[in-house]
């Protein structure tokens, strides 16, 4: 029984190897078989896995060294990962017998694909390399985009950058938007930001009195910066018969930068409390103007 089974299994193995060696298609002068295709995919998967493990190991090592610039190290390790991907793919092509000169043919096909609708993907990938190489954007930076998105950079990927907003969400921003459109970088040179908080009071109160009350109150907010460069100020921005309009100009630290909308609300609450505590009158309501009936639409004088 074993003598009959062995030739049977041997025949199946021979048929399998023959099928695995049958050419599926040709790249340049190289025949691509199921066996070489499987070997290529296996090698590429191993390179991708190894590059990711190496990047994770390097970043964990960076976390254990407090004095190291983590953002620069992240960019370097991420670029190393992508370079290893490219080298690994070229090595895999060579190991399965593909002439690397045939890559010129593939690049032509890729160029056609880009022209047929892959421009966005290609632009995002190239922009991702620019962001990582130039280090103009780092992990932990606080940015505001031209599209209205604001938040903290959490990850810079090959196609998109992850920005965490103040509402607990994460926005995947295409890398091309960060390269080609205006980006306000709040923490590029320093971790502080100037906020403008408008408010109004009624007439009949000295503006110096308003300024001293508000400035003394906002200094108690922990996020407020003080000193010659960052001293808060109160500007008189408008006068009318019914109100004085002011604007609190205040610098906040990094915690305040991350929560800018909340900080504006907090400063408004502090201003409202101090004005109420000192019986500062609110703005008077402006008299309503009524339209006459008729085609001319003339206004009546204030009542």
Phi-psi region of 87 (alpha: psi -120 to 50; beta: other; left: phi over 0): alpha
Percent of the chain with pLDDT over 90: 26
Inform me whether the pLDDT recorded for 163 exceeds 60: yes
**Residues 162-178, mean pLDDT to the nearest whole number:** 89
pLDDT of residue 268: 96
Q: Answer yes or no: CATH 3.30.365.10 is held by domain 193-277.
A: no
pLDDT of residue 225: 93
pLDDT of residue 131: 84
Inform me whether the pLDDT recorded for 78 exceeds 60: yes
Inform me whether the pLDDT recorded for 302 exceeds 80: no
- Residues 262-298 pLDDT 10s: 999 999 999 999 999 999 998 888 776 655 554 454 5
**Residues 152-173, mean pLDDT to the nearest whole number:** 88
Looking at per-residue pLDDT, the higher value among 19 and 181 belongs to 181
Inform me whether the pLDDT recorded for 224 exceeds 90: yes
pLDDT of residue 198: 96
Number of Cβ within a 10 Å radius of residue 251: 21
Inform me whether the pLDDT recorded for 105 exceeds 70: no
Inform me whether the pLDDT recorded for 45 exceeds 80: yes
Torsion, Cα of 70, 71, 75, 77 (10° steps): 10
**Residues 210-229, mean pLDDT to the nearest whole number:** 92
Confidence of residue 76 (pLDDT cuts 50, 70, 90): confident
Q: Spell out the domain ranges in the chain.
A: 20-100, 142-185, 193-277
pLDDT of residue 214: 95
Asked if 88 and 42 count as a contact pair (C-beta separation under 8 A), the reply is: no
Residues sharing a CB contact under 8 Å with residue 142, sequence separation 6 or more, in sequence order: 150, 151, 152, 153, 185, 186, 187, 254, 257, 258
Residue 75, burial from CB neighbour count under 10 angstroms (0-12, 13-18, 19+): buried
**Residues 177-195, mean pLDDT to the nearest whole number:** 88
CA 271 to chain centre: 33
Instruction: Name which of 256, 259, 205 is nearest 234 in CA terms.
Output: 205
Instruction: Name which of 192, 211, 191 is nearest 201 in CA terms.
Output: 211
- Residues 106-152 pLDDT 10s: 666 666 655 555 677 778 888 887 887 777 788 888 999 988 888 99
In the chain, what is the straight-line distance between the N-terminal and C-terminal CA atoms, in Å? Answer: 115
Of the CATH numbers 2.30.30.60, 1.25.40.10, 1.10.10.10, 3.40.50.2000, which one belongs to the domain with range 142-185? Answer: 2.30.30.60
- Residues 227-241 pLDDT 10s: 888 999 999 999 988
Phi–psi pair at 113, nearest 5 degrees: -60, -40
Asked if 74 and 137 count as a contact pair (C-beta separation under 8 A), the reply is: no
The pTM for the full model equals: 0.59
Confidence of residue 1 (pLDDT cuts 50, 70, 90): very low
Q: Would 142-185 and 193-277 be classified into the same CATH topology?
A: no
Helical H runs in 96-188? Answer: 103-113, 119-134, 175-180
pLDDT of residue 263: 94
Looking at per-residue pLDDT, the higher value among 300 and 58 belongs to 58
pLDDT of residue 271: 95
Number of Cβ within a 10 Å radius of residue 69: 13
Structure tokens at 44: 């590429």
Cα distances (Å, whole numbers) of residue 131 to 63, 160, 179, 221, 300: 22, 11, 8, 36, 61
């Amino acid at each position: 029984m074993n003598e009959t089974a062995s030739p049977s299994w041997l025949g199946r193995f021979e048929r399998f190897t023959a099928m695995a060696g049958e050419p599926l298609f040709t790249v340049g002068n190289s025949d691509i078989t199921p066996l070489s295709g499987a070997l290529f995919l296996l090698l590429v998967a191993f390179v991708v896995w190894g590059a990711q493990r190496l990047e994770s190991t390097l970043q964990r090592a960076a976390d254990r060294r407090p004095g190291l610039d983590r953002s620069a190290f992240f960019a370097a390790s991420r670029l190393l990962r992508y370079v290893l991907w490219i080298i690994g793919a070229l090595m895999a092509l060579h190991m399965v017998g593909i002439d690397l000169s045939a890559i010129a043919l593939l690049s032509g096909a890729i160029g056609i694909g880009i022209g047929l609708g892959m421009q966005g993907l290609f632009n995002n990938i190239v922009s991702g390399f620019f962001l990582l190489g130039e280090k103009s954007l780092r992990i932990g930076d606080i940015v505001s985009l031209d599209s209205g998105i604001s938040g903290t950079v959490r990850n810079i990927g090959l196609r998109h950058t992850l920005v965490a907003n103040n509402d607990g969400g994460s926005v995947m921003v295409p890398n091309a938007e960060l390269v080609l459109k205006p980006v306000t970088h709040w923490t590029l040179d320093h971790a502080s930001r100037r906020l403008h908080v408008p408010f109004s009071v009624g007439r009949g109160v000295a503006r110096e009195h308003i300024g001293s009350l508000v400035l003394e109150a906002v200094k108690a907010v922990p996020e407020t910066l003080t000193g010659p460069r960052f001293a808060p100020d109160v500007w008189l921005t408008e006068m009318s018969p019914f109100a004085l309009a002011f604007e609190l100009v205040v610098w906040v630290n990094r915690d305040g930068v991350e929560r800018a909308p909340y900080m504006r609300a907090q400063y408004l609450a502090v201003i409202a409390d101090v004005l109420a505590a000192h019986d500062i009158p609110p703005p008077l309501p402006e008299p309503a103007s009524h339209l006459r009936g008729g085609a001319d639409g003339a206004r009546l004088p204030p009542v």
